[in-house]
Amino acid sequence: MKVEIYFSHSFVNIDSPIFKIKGEGSSADVNASSKTTAKKMYEKGWRLAHAVKTAQSAQLESFNFLLIFEKK
C-alpha cells in the first residue's frame, strides 16, 4: 500500500485545490506546482483515508486540512 499526504488551505469540496508540502520543520512550504484536487486523486486510484483539520478557524476560507491518501 502507498501513502501520500496533501494539504489544503480550504478543503470544502472535491475540487478544492490541494498541495504537497515540501521540506521539513521550519523550511516546510506548500509546493505550488503540485496543485491537484481530491477528484483527480480519486481518478488516479487514490482514496482519502484521513482528513485532519489543522487550523482552529471555523470560516470556510480557513478550512486548513491535512489529507492522507492511500492507494493499493
Partner 1 sequence: MGFFSRLFGLEKNNKQDQIQRRKQSTKSKSKTYPLNEVGVIGKFSDDAYDKKNSSVVHDLNGKRIFKIPVTARTRAFENENYLGRKTFKSGTVRWVDIDKDGVNKALEEKGFLEKHIPIKQEKIKIEKKKKVSIKKKAISKATYDSNEVLLFSYSLVNESSPIYQMKGTRVIESSKTDLKTMYKSGWRISDLDKTGKSAQFDSFNFVIRMQKIA
Grid cell listed for 57: 478557524
Binding to partner 1 by residue 12, rule CB under 8 A? Answer: no
Instruction: Choose which of 12, 28, 32, 60 interacts with partner 1 (CB under 8 A).
Output: 28
Instruction: Choose which of 13, 56, 58, 61 interacts with partner 1 (CB under 8 A).
Output: 56
Helix (H) or strand (E) run with residue 52 in it:
strand 47-53
Binding to partner 1 by residue 33, rule CB under 8 A? Answer: no
* Number of neighbouring beta carbons within 10 Å of residue 12: 11
Grid cell listed for 50: 484521513
Chain contacts with partner 1 (rule: CB under 8 A): 1-5, 7, 20-26, 28-29, 49-50, 52-56, 64, 66, 68, 70
